[in-house]
Amino acid sequence: MSAADDYCDLCDLPRSQCVHGRPPPPAPVKAVKPPPKPRKRPPARRASPPDEPVRRRWTPPEVFKPLILTVLEESGGALDADEMFLELESLAQDRFLPGDSELTPEGELRWRLAARRARMALIDEGLMTKSRPGVWEISGPRRGSG
Q: pLDDT tens digits for 101-130?
A: 889 899 999 999 999 999 999 999 999 998
Domain count, the chain: 1
What confidence score (pLDDT) does residue 136 get? Answer: 93
What confidence score (pLDDT) does residue 141 get? Answer: 54
Let me know if 33 is exposed, middle or buried by CB neighbors in 10 A (0-12, 13-18, 19+): exposed
Report field, pTM of the whole predicted structure over 0.85: no
Higher pLDDT, 58 or 146: 58
Is 97 a member of any domain? yes
> Which domain range does residue 79 map to?
61-142
Per-residue confidence band for 142, with pLDDT thresholds at 50, 70 and 90 = very low
What confidence score (pLDDT) does residue 112 get? Answer: 92
CATH number of the domain encompassing residue 135 = 1.10.10.10
Task: Identify whether the C-beta of residue 59 lies closer than 8 Å to the C-beta of residue 111.
Answer: yes
